[in-house]
Structure 1
Amino acid sequence: MAAPAPILAFENLGIVQGSGWLFRNLDIHVGPRDRLALIGRNGAGKTTLMKLIAGSIEADEGRRTIQPGTRVILLEQEPDLRAYKTLLDYVLAGDDAPMEYEADAIADQLGIDLSRDAASASGGERRRAAIVRALAMEPDVLLLDEPTNHLDIAAIEWIEQWLSRFNGAFVVISHDRTFLTRLTKQTLWLDRGAVRRAEIGFGGFDAWTEQVYADEARNAEKLDAKLKLEEHWLLRGVTGRRKRNQGRLTKLVEMRAERASMIGPQGSANLTIGTDDAKTKVVIDAKHISKSFGERPIITDLSLRITRKDRIGIVGANGAGKSTLLKLLTGELEPDAGQIRFAKTMERIVIDQQRSKMAPEKTVRDVLADGGDWIDVQGSRKHVVGYLKEFLFDPNVLDAKVGTLSGGERSRLLLAREFAKPSNLLVLDEPTNDLDLETLDLLQDVIGDYEGTVLIVSHDRDFLDRTVTITLGLDGSGTVDVVAGGYEDWERKRKAAAPKRGGGNRKVQATAPPPPPAPKVKLTFKDQRDYEILPKRIEEIEAGIVRDEKILADPALYSKDFAKFERLTKEIAAARAEKEAAELRWLELAEKVGG
C-alpha cells in the first residue's frame, strides 16, 4: 500500500544566516498523520526550520508546497504577549483566532485562568495560554517548539493524551525524552547543515545515529581522510558519552538497590542507614519537620536522612511544595516544627531556573576564567579551551559575548562555570529547560561523576530516571512519598497506592482499583465487557510499548540485529495503533455510561 501524499513539503530548502548558509538543499515532507520528532543540537537551526515549515519566515531558496485548505499552527517557545492585557486577549487575537468557548474548554482542562494579567503571568501560565490558542485553532499540522518547558508533570501528561488522539500531523522539538518516545513515530535529524529522515520514533534515535556515525567513520578511513577537527571531537564525545551512560545506568540501579535497603517499611519517609562510616556520611538530617503557609500544610511530619553521594529528585505538580521542600533541605527556610541538621562542611552551588543573570557584555573567557587562559575545576587546573570542549562548545566562542549566545548555550556556559567550583552539595532547580539532548547527556555525565550530594527539582521524567537514587513525591496535601528510584518508580507506587492519603508520611496500603461505575444506560453484553476490560488492556499495551522501546533504545541493536530492530519498530507502531483504538472505544463507552 502506497504512503499517503504529503500535505506539506519543501524541495531544495535553503536559508542564509549571518555570512553563510545555515542549511541548504533540504528536502522535507509531512504526511497527514505524521508524528515527527525534529532533533538537532543547539544552533543547528531547528527553530528556524520550524518557522519555515509554518510559513512565518521566507526561505532564501527552495519551493514550499502545501495542500489547499491545510491549516498549519506554530506553538513558539516564547510567544510575545506584550501587546495584550490578559492571557485571553492573546488567545483570541487575530482574524484566525479560535472561538472563546473552544479556548475556555481547553483552558479548563489545562488548569489556566485566561483572565490573568498577561504582564505578570508566570512562564508556566504563558506557556499554557499559548498551548490553549494553538490547540483551539484546530490545526491540520501542529508545530510544537519545546511544548513541555515550564509545565508540570500533570500538564505534560495531559498534552501527551491530547496529541495521542490528534487526527492531524505534528512536528515537535523537545528535550523531553519521555514525551518524544511516547508520541513520535518518525524522526527528522538536522545535523551539520543536512537533514535525514527515518521512519522510526525517538525510541530508535540513538541506535540510528550510532549507525550513521559508524558509517561516517568507516567512510573517512576508506578515503584516508580526517573529519574536521570540530566534528571529530563532537562525534567522539557524543558517542563516548552514550557508551559511558550505559555503564552509569547499571551503576545507578545498584545504588538504588543499596539505598532501598536503607529505607524502612514501604511508605515510611525515615531513611535510616546501617552505618555512619565515611561512605555514608550524613549531609542533611531532617526529623519530623512540618511547614505550612497559613492554614495550608505544605510539608507534614517528614523525616529524611540524606547521605553523601545521594541523588535526590523532587517531583510534584506546580504549587505542591517542591520549592518549599528544597528551601527547607538547603537551610533557606526554617521548619514550623521538627529540626534539620546539616553537615558542618557543607559547600553548595545552586543552579536555578533564572539562568539569564550572566552579564551579556562579558565574554565566555571572562565568565569562565576571569579573562585568562586557565580555570580551576574542582581543584584541578585546566586550559579554558579544553574545558569548553567538555561542555560541547566550539573553542572559537572563547571571546564571544555572552549576549550573542543562544538560550541553550548560555545555560551550558552557566553549568560549566558552576561545576568548576568546589562543592559537596549541588542544587539543580529545573536544570533541563533550554538544553538540547546532547547537553542533557553531558549533564547526566557530570552528575554521575560528582562526588557530593545532588538535589534536583525537575519535571523531566527521563532525566530523573537516569540520574536520581531517591525520589521525593509531593501531592499538595503535605504528604511526601519517599521512593528508592526515579520518576518511574514513584509513578508506579503512586498508581498502586490507596486513594485515601491523610496527613503525614505514614504507610500506604495498596488496594485494588474500584470497579467501573454502573452504567446510566443499558449497554449490550459486548459493550459492557469492553468497558470493563479495556482499561487493563490499555495498560498492558502501554507496558509492552515501554518494554520494547527500552530494547529498541540499545545502541548496539541496530547493527547487531537489524531484523529484530525492524520487527520491534513495526510492533511498536502496531501497538500504538491498537492502544489509540482501544482508548477511543473506551471513551465512547464512557460517554454512554455518563449519560
Structure 2
Amino acid sequence: MSAPILAYEGLGLVQGSGWLFRGLDITIGQRDRLALIGRNGAGKTTLLKLLAGQIDADEGRRTIVPGTKVVMLEQEPAMTGFATLRDFALKGEDAPPAYRVEAIAGQIGIDLDREAATASGGERRRTAIARALAMEPDILLLDEPTNHLDISAIEYIEGWLGRFNGAFVVISHDRTFLTRLTKQTLWLDRGAIRRREIGFGGFEAWTEQVADEEARNAARLDAKLKIEEHWMLRGVTARRRRNQGRLTKLVEMRATRRAMMGPQGTAALATASDDSKTRIVIDAEHVTKRFGDRAVIRDFTFRVARGDRIGLVGPNGAGKSTLLKLLTGDLAPDEGQVKRAQTLNAVVIDQQRSLMAPEKRVRDVLTDGNDWIDVLGVRKHISGYLKEFLFDPAVAEAKIGALSGGERSRLLLAREFARPSNLLVLDEPTNDLDMETLDLLQEVIADYDGTVLIVSHDRDFLDRTVTVTLGLDGSGTVDVVAGGYADWEAKRAAAVQAKRAPTAAKSDAPAPAAPKPKVKLSYKDQRDLDLLPKEIEKLEAAIARDEAALADPNLFTRDPKTFDALMKAIETARTKKDAAEMRWLELAEMAEGL
C-alpha cells in the first residue's frame, strides 16, 4: 500500500433515525486504483462525498496532505444556471484551462456549445467527465462514470485512467471497466468497510470466502440466523451467479444460432426446415434507412427467431436506436421491408423510466395500489414479489422520489417483467443497477420465454446474456455475429488484421507455416465437459445433505465432533465444486469458440 494522501479515521454518519455507517477507517494512497463496491443504498455515493469534503461527518477525522487536489465526478451533475455545456465545464475559480477541456471533449464526442437546458443525460455526463479529467486532480472520485456513455467513450476513459499518475476511487456496475482498471477493493457492507489489495477481478472469490466464513460462524449459533445472514450478505441471486444450467443454455443457443447463419452473418433460414421458418418473429429484408443524404442502415437483412437474445452495440449516433425502431415497427424503412409476427406482444423498458413519477408509491407503480400482482399468470403477494427483486417488503409504502436511481430501475424491471409479453425491448437496462441486480436481470432474461432486444454499452452484461450481436460502426453496415460483445470485438480485430495482411505479404522474409487451427476438443477435455455436470450435481447434493444435518440447532452442543466433521466436509465439497464449475466454464467457452 502506497503512502496515504487522504484518510478518514472513525468515520460515522447518521442518516434518518440511525447510523448509515460508523467507525470506518479509510486511506487512499498516491497511486491507489480503488473499486468501491456495495449494494444500492449502502451509502457508496455518500461515502465519496465525505471523502471529497462536500459533506461533513457526524464522527471521525479527515486528514489530507496539503496541496492535494480532490475532484469528484457526480452521477447527475447540476447544470442549472449555465447557458451552455462549455459554461459548466469552465465554471469556478479552479476551472481547468479551456484547451484541455476541449481536447478531452473532442475525444469523447461532446459539443460544448450545446445548450445545457436541452442536453441529454449522456451529454451532461460527458461534459462533467471532460471537466473532471482536465482539472488534473491528485485524487479522482468517480460515481458511475460509464453510465450513458458509448463504447468509444468508455474505452477513452479506460485509457486515460490507465495512464493517470494520481489515485482514483470508482463506483461502477461495469464489470469489464472495473476488472481492467482497479488494483484494490473497498467493500461497503452493512455499515462496515473492508479493504483488500486485489482488483475487482478477485472480488467475487473474496465475497465467497467472507460469505462462507459468516455462514460457518452463524451455524455455530443458530441455523435460522445462518440463513438470514447469508441472504443479507449475498442476496437471492448469489446462488445463481455460476448457474451452470444458464451457461449451458446460452452456449447451446449461440451454437444453434451460428449454424443458422451464412458466412457473412446473414440469417440462412430460407433454406432451413419448416419448423425453423415458423419460429421467425421479425424478418428484415434489404432494409435501408436514410436521414438526409446519410444512410444510417444500409441493405440490412436479418431474421430474428423466437427465443433470440439480440444485442445492439456501437458508438452513439451509429444507428442503434434507428435499427431498434425498424425492428419493432416504430419506424418504416426507406427501402426493403420488415415483417413481424402478428402475435408479437412487446414490453419496452426505456432509458427515460417514464413511469417513475416521484409522488407515486412503490405499491402504486407495481400493483396499482393493491396487495396482489399477477406475474405471467401467477398471483403473488406484493411483499414476496418485492423480495424476489431484492427489496425489503416495507418499501411498498415508500414514495418513488425517495428511491435511489438503481432502486427505481429495479422497480421498473419488477413491474415490466410481470406483464405478459413475448418480445422484451431493453434500452440501456444496466444504468444505475448494482451488481446483485445485474445478476438478477441476467437470470430473468435467461428464463424469459420470448425474444429479447437489448441496446447496451455494458460489455460484460452482453457477453453473459445475448446469443447474437448486431454491431454498428456508423457506416450503415451492420455486422451480425453469433455470440456476445467479445465475439464482435474479435471479428473486428480479425478484419483489421486481414487488411494488414497484404502489406505483410510483401516482405521478402519467408512466412512461418501457420499452425493448424484446432477443430475439436481433446479427448480429455471432451470427457471432462461431458462428465463434470454429473460431478457438480453430486457435490451439490452432498453439500445440501450436510447443510440439512447442520440445521439441527442442538447439534453443536450434543455432538461437536460431528458438527466439525460436517463443516469440514462442506468446505471441501464447495472447493471441489468451485473448481469443477470453473473447469466446466473454461471447456464450454473453448467448445463454443470451436
Q: TM-score range by the shorter chain?
A: 0.7 to 0.9
Give yes or no for the alignment of 1:458 onto 2:447: no
TM-score calculated relative to the size of structure 1: 0.82
1:346 to 344, 347, 354: 344
CA drift of 1:432 comes to 0.6
Which residue number in structure 2 is paired with residue 240 of structure 1? 239
* Comparing 73-82 and 120-129, the one that deviates more: 120-129
Q: Secondary structure at the match of 1:9?
A: strand
Give yes or no for the alignment of 1:227 onto 2:225: yes
CA drift of 1:95 comes to 1.1
Question: What letter corresponds to residue 51 of structure 1 in structure 2?
Answer: K
CA drift of 1:83 comes to 1.6
8 Å CA contact retained: 1:269, 1:481: no
Which residue number in structure 2 is paired with residue 541 of structure 1? none
Task: Indicate how the Cα distance of structure 1 residues 453 and 273 shifts in structure 2: closer, same or farther if over 3 A, else same.
Answer: farther
* Comparing 470-479 and 234-243, the one that deviates more: 234-243
Give yes or no for the alignment of 1:205 onto 2:194: no
Task: Indicate how the Cα distance of structure 1 residues 370 and 232 shifts in structure 2: closer, same or farther if over 3 A, else same.
Answer: farther
Matches within 5 A, 1:53-452: 53-224=51-222, 226-227=224-225, 231-234=229-232, 235=234, 237-244=236-243, 246-268=244-266, 274-277=272-275, 281-452=279-450
CA drift of 1:239 comes to 2.0
Task: Indicate how the Cα distance of structure 1 residues 27 and 281 shifts in structure 2: closer, same or farther if over 3 A, else same.
Answer: same
CA drift of 1:305 comes to 0.8
Instruction: Report the Cα distance in structure 2 between the residues aligned to 1:49 and 1:276, rounded to whole angstroms.
Output: 59
8 Å CA contact retained: 2:215, 2:229: no
8 Å CA contact retained: 2:34, 2:185: yes
Count of matched residue positions in the alignment of Structure 1 and Structure 2: 511
Matches within 5 A, 1:40-59: 40-59=38-57
Instruction: Report the Cα distance in structure 2 between the residues aligned to 1:44 and 1:66, rounded to whole angstroms.
Output: 25
Which residue number in structure 1 is paired with residue 501 of structure 2? 512
Task: Indicate how the Cα distance of structure 1 residues 29 and 103 shifts in structure 2: closer, same or farther if over 3 A, else same.
Answer: same
CA drift of 1:422 comes to 0.4
Question: What letter corresponds to residue 32 of structure 1 in structure 2?
Answer: Q
Q: Secondary structure at the match of 2:212?
A: helix
Instruction: Report the Cα distance in structure 1 between the residues aligned to 2:122 and 2:167, rounded to whole angstroms.
Output: 25
Instruction: Report the Cα distance in structure 2 between the residues aligned to 1:487 and 1:38, rounded to whole angstroms.
Output: 25
Q: Secondary structure at the match of 1:494?
A: helix
Q: Secondary structure at the match of 2:461?
A: helix
Question: What letter corresponds to residue 56 of structure 2 in structure 1?
Answer: E
1:76-117 deviation digits (Å, cap 9, x = unpaired) = 111111121111111111111111122122222222221221
CA drift of 1:232 comes to 4.8
Which residue number in structure 1 is paired with residue 529 of structure 2? none
TM-score calculated relative to the size of structure 2: 0.82
8 Å CA contact retained: 2:289, 2:334: yes
8 Å CA contact retained: 1:263, 1:271: yes
Instruction: Report the Cα distance in structure 2 between the residues aligned to 1:270 and 1:47, rounded to whole angstroms.
Output: 49
8 Å CA contact retained: 1:461, 1:488: yes
Task: Indicate how the Cα distance of structure 1 residues 399 and 32 shifts in structure 2: closer, same or farther if over 3 A, else same.
Answer: same
Task: Indicate how the Cα distance of structure 1 residues 273 and 327 shifts in structure 2: closer, same or farther if over 3 A, else same.
Answer: farther
8 Å CA contact retained: 2:2, 2:31: no
Instruction: Report the Cα distance in structure 2 between the residues aligned to 1:189 and 1:511, rounded to whole angstroms.
Output: 45
Instruction: Report the Cα distance in structure 2 between the residues aligned to 1:558 and 1:202, rounded to whole angstroms.
Output: 26
2:469 to 468, 471, 475: 471
8 Å CA contact retained: 1:188, 1:197: yes
* Comparing 448-457 and 254-263, the one that deviates more: 254-263
CA drift of 1:498 comes to 4.8
Q: Secondary structure at the match of 1:119?
A: helix
CA drift of 1:361 comes to 2.4
Q: CA RMSD in A?
A: 2.2
CA drift of 1:288 comes to 1.0
Question: What letter corresponds to residue 467 of structure 1 in structure 2?
Answer: T
Task: Indicate how the Cα distance of structure 1 residues 204 and 119 shifts in structure 2: closer, same or farther if over 3 A, else same.
Answer: same
1:135-181 deviation digits (Å, cap 9, x = unpaired) = 11110110000001111100000000000000111000001111001
Q: Secondary structure at the match of 2:168?
A: strand
Q: Secondary structure at the match of 1:257?
A: helix
Question: What letter corresponds to residue 240 of structure 1 in structure 2?
Answer: R
8 Å CA contact retained: 2:2, 2:32: no
CA drift of 1:469 comes to 0.1
CA drift of 1:344 comes to 1.3
Instruction: Report the Cα distance in structure 2 between the residues aligned to 1:452 and 1:335, rounded to whole angstroms.
Output: 25
CA drift of 1:229 comes to 8.0
Q: Secondary structure at the match of 1:237?
A: coil
Question: What letter corresponds to residue 237 of structure 1 in structure 2?
Answer: V
8 Å CA contact retained: 1:75, 1:144: yes
CA drift of 1:278 comes to 7.4
8 Å CA contact retained: 1:286, 1:340: yes
Instruction: Report the Cα distance in structure 1 between the residues aligned to 2:105 and 2:502, rounded to whole angstroms.
Output: 29
Which residue number in structure 2 is paired with residue 490 of structure 1? 488
Matches within 5 A, 1:518-557: none
Task: Indicate how the Cα distance of structure 1 residues 430 and 273 shifts in structure 2: closer, same or farther if over 3 A, else same.
Answer: farther
CA drift of 1:511 comes to 5.0
Give yes or no for the alignment of 1:7 onto 2:38: no
CA drift of 1:352 comes to 0.5
8 Å CA contact retained: 1:178, 1:462: yes
Question: What letter corresponds to residue 67 of structure 1 in structure 2?
Answer: V
Question: What letter corresponds to residue 286 of structure 1 in structure 2?
Answer: A
CA drift of 1:481 comes to 0.3
CA drift of 1:271 comes to 5.7
Question: What letter corresponds to residue 159 of structure 2 in structure 1?
Answer: Q
CA drift of 1:253 comes to 1.6
Q: Secondary structure at the match of 1:477?
A: coil
Instruction: Report the Cα distance in structure 2 between the residues aligned to 1:236 and 1:432, rounded to whole angstroms.
Output: 18
CA drift of 1:513 comes to 8.2
Which residue number in structure 1 is paired with residue 549 of structure 2? none
Structure 2 runs not aligned, ≥5 long: 505-570, 580-594
8 Å CA contact retained: 1:311, 1:467: yes
Instruction: Report the Cα distance in structure 1 between the residues aligned to 2:327 and 2:235, rounded to whole angstroms.
Output: 39
Question: What letter corresponds to residue 164 of structure 1 in structure 2?
Answer: G
Task: Indicate how the Cα distance of structure 1 residues 513 and 407 shifts in structure 2: closer, same or farther if over 3 A, else same.
Answer: farther
Which residue number in structure 2 is paired with residue 24 of structure 1? 22
Identity %: 73
Task: Indicate how the Cα distance of structure 1 residues 225 and 21 shifts in structure 2: closer, same or farther if over 3 A, else same.
Answer: farther
8 Å CA contact retained: 1:92, 1:100: yes
Instruction: Report the Cα distance in structure 1 between the residues aligned to 2:471 and 2:242, rounded to whole angstroms.
Output: 30
Task: Indicate how the Cα distance of structure 1 residues 34 and 40 shifts in structure 2: closer, same or farther if over 3 A, else same.
Answer: same
Instruction: Report the Cα distance in structure 1 between the residues aligned to 2:445 and 2:298, rounded to whole angstroms.
Output: 30
* Comparing 167-176 and 276-285, the one that deviates more: 276-285
CA drift of 1:560 comes to 3.7
Task: Indicate how the Cα distance of structure 1 residues 176 and 346 shifts in structure 2: closer, same or farther if over 3 A, else same.
Answer: same
* Comparing 230-239 and 353-362, the one that deviates more: 230-239
